[in-house]
Chain A
Amino acid sequence: MRERLEVVLNGERRALPGPATVAVLLAEIGLDARKVAVERNEEIVPRSAYGATWLASGDALEIVHFIGGG
């Protein structure tokens, strides 16, 4: 049986059905990778590395984008 992953995504616990890269996670959520930035355990994940960055249980992820601000 494949190991389930549990990560903290934007401050909330989230179970993932199996091993996943950042690219897979973004696609599953339905986000356009070109419009967001991702931080994993307080380190930036470069956009070019989304497909090669595998998530591990316990990872803390932040997915952000630009919104209106002054």
Chain B
Amino acid sequence: MDTPILADADDTWTVAGRRFRSRLVVGTGKYKSLEETAAAIEASGAEMVTVAVRRVNLSDPGAPMLQDYVDPKRYTYLPNTAGCHTAKDAVRTLRLAREAGGWSLVKLEVLGPPPHLYPDMAATFEAAEALLRDGFEVMVYCADDPVAAKRLEEMGCAAIMPLGAPIGSGLGLQNPAMLSILIGQARVPVLVDAGVGTASDAAIAMELGCDAVLLNSALAHAGDPVRMARAMRLAVQAGRLAHLAGRMPRRMGADPSSPLTGLIR
């Protein structure tokens, strides 16, 4: 089934010199199979996908690889540093990613310990500095902290990606006020990354004015990932259109929509 494109075709966003029409960035993890991964990503309309870097399984070198299902020529691969808890590990991982993929746009995330995996901002600054010095274009996962976000932007990060809620929690945006502040002050793209659970969460993120939404579990752990991918695609477009349209003012009292004149007596 074709999902209609509702958003304006010329409403694009740009990161590190690359222009994207889709404002939905999706992960490629946690799906039941590579076939399901490919189908969900296709349905999402995403143009950029996050990927992890891991050791090749040497006992099964002929096993199908992600690239065979999600074509790096069609989708912009955004290698991540998931599982990295130190700046050193994150930098090492992304240097390998750059060699494997041949491009320098990356997602940096340096995480604190389970169960929250909250961004470790001190280590994130350290890793961002090393990566920027080494010529990487860094999209950075971070706390919803406007001071930290501004500092990352001033260091030269290509995009700021505050969490909506802990990774994989599906709790939705827990701190929309702070995300709004962060979006309002940013001069680089802001993506809400992590925490989106269902379509309305993605719409809310877009209504706040962020440039795009990044999610993975909300699709991979949905009952029907392909159908949820369609829902997310529409939700992101709906939220974007609502943001551009400008919502009506909130008011405490009622304001009838039908005229009060000409009533029968």
Binding site for A on B (CB under 8 A): 27-31, 34, 37, 50-56, 58, 61-62, 65-67, 77, 79-80, 82, 92, 95-97, 99-101, 167-168, 194, 215-217
Q: With a CB–CB cut-off of 8 A, which chain B residues contact A47?
A: 99
A68 touches B67 (CB 8 A): no
Q: With a CB–CB cut-off of 8 A, which chain A residues contact B54?
A: 64-65, 67
Binding site of B, secondary structure by majority: helix, strand, loop or mixed? mixed
Q: A31-B61, A35-B67, A42-B92 are in contact. Are A66 and B56 (CB under 8 A)?
A: no
A46 vs B98: C-alpha distance in the bound complex, in angstroms?
A: 10
A30 touches B61 (CB 8 A): yes
Q: A66-B67, A66-B79, A70-B167 are in contact. Are A44 and B58 (CB under 8 A)?
A: no
A10 vs B96: C-alpha distance in the bound complex, in angstroms?
A: 14
Q: CB-nearest residue of chain A relative to B34? A: A68
Q: With a CB–CB cut-off of 8 A, which chain B residues contact A11?
A: 55
Known pairs A65-B53, A68-B28, A70-B28. 18 more at Cβ < 8 A? A12-B58, A30-B61, A35-B65, A36-B56, A37-B53, A37-B100, A63-B55, A64-B55, A66-B67, A67-B51, A67-B52, A68-B30, A68-B37, A69-B50, A69-B80, A70-B50, A70-B167, A70-B194
